[in-house]
Structure 1
Amino acid sequence: MGVLSNKIHWQQLQPGDHIYSWRQAYIYAHHGIYIGDGMVIHFTRGAGQEIGTGTVIDRLLLTSMPPNSSLRTACPRCGGQSRSHGVISSCLNCFLSGGDPYLFEYGVSPVFFLAKARGGTCTLAQSDPPEQVLHRALFLLENGFGNYNIFKNNCEDFAIYCKTGLLVFTGIGVGRSGQAASYMAAAGALVSSPLRFLTAGFGGFALAGCGMYCASRLASDIGYRQDVVKVPVERLVMDLSSGLNDPVKTLASLNGGRS
Structure 2
Amino acid sequence: MGLLTNKMEREELKAGDHIYTYRAVFAYSHHGIFVGGSKVVHFRPEHNLNSPSSSSSEDICPTFPDCGFRQPNSGVVLSCLDCFLKNGSLHRFEYGVSPSVFLTKVRGGTCTTAQSDPTDSVIHRAMYLLQNGFGNYDVFKNNCEDFALYCKTGLLIMDKLGVGRSGQASSVVGAPLAAVLSSPFSLLIPNPIGVATVTAGMYCMSRYATDIGVRRDVVKVSVEDLKSIEEAEGEEEEDSDTGLVRVTI
Q: Per the alignment, in what secondary structure is the counterpart of residue 189 of structure 2? A: helix
SS at match of 2:206: helix
* Contact 1:44-1:87 within 8 A present in 2 as well: yes
CA offsets per residue over residues 75-127 of structure 1, 9 Å max, x none? 1224568x996101000011001101100000000010011110000000000
Q: After superposition, where does 1:199-214 map in structure 2 within 5 Å? A: 199-201=188-190, 202-214=192-204
Cα displacement (A) at 1:199: 3.0
Partner Cα distance (2:179, 2:20) in 1: 27
Q: How far apart are residue 243 of structure 1 and its match?
A: 6.4
Q: CA, structure 1 residues 3+13, in 2 after alignment: closer, same or farther (shift >3 Å)?
A: same
The one-letter code of the counterpart of 1:161 is Y
Separation in 2 of the partners of 1:211 and 1:14?
34
What is the Cα deviation at residue 194 of structure 1? 3.6
1:158 — aligned with what? 147
SS of the counterpart of 1:200?
Answer: coil
Residues 121, 71 of structure 1: CA spacing in aligned structure 2 closer, same or farther, 3 A cutoff? farther
Checking the alignment, whether the CA contact within 8 Å between 1:173 and 1:220 is kept in structure 2 is no
In 2, distance between residues paired with 1:245 and 1:72? Answer: 37
Corresponding residue of 1:42: 42
Matched, 1:225 2:215: yes
Q: How many residues align?
A: 229
Establish whether residue 95 from structure 1 lines up as the match of residue 84 from structure 2. yes
CA distance, structure 2, for counterparts of residue 235 and residue 80 of structure 1: 26
Equivalent-residue separation in structure 2 for 1:116 and 1:243 (angstroms): 37
Q: Identify the match of residue 135 of structure 1 among 98, 103, 124.
A: 124
TM-score between the two structures when normalised by the length of structure 1: 0.80
5+ residue gaps, structure 1: 51-66, 250-259
Cα deviation 1:169-188 (Å, max 9, x = unaligned): 11243110011101111010
Contact 1:119-1:217 within 8 A present in 2 as well: yes
Secondary structure of the residue aligned to 1:204 is: helix
Query: What is residue 170 of structure 1 aligned with on the other side?
Result: 159
C-alpha distance 38-24 of structure 1, shift in aligned 2 (>3 A): same
Gaps of 5+ in 2: 238-249
Q: What secondary structure sits across from 2:204 in the alignment?
A: helix
Cα-to-partner distance string for 1:132-152 (whole Å, 9 max, x where unaligned): 000000000000000100000
User: SS at 2:34's partner residue?
Assistant: strand
SS of residue paired to 2:42 = strand
Distance 1:198 1:71, change over 3 A: farther
Q: Which runs of 4+ in 1 moved over 6 A?
A: none
Are the equivalent residues in 1 in contact too, given 2:16–2:123 (CA < 8 A)?
yes
Instruction: State the match for 1:17 in structure 2.
Output: 17
Q: Which has the larger radius of gyration?
A: 2
Distance 2:234 2:12 in 1: 35
Letter in 2 for 1:75: C
Distance 2:42 2:232 in 1: 22
Q: 1:84 & 1:23 partners in 2: Cα distance? A: 24
Q: CA deviation at 1:16?
A: 0.4
Contact 1:45–1:84, Cα closer than 8 Å, also in 2:
no
C-alpha RMSD over aligned residues: 2.8
Q: Distance in 2 between matches of 1:195 and 1:173?
A: 25
Cα distance in 2 for residues equivalent to 1:245 and 1:88: 23
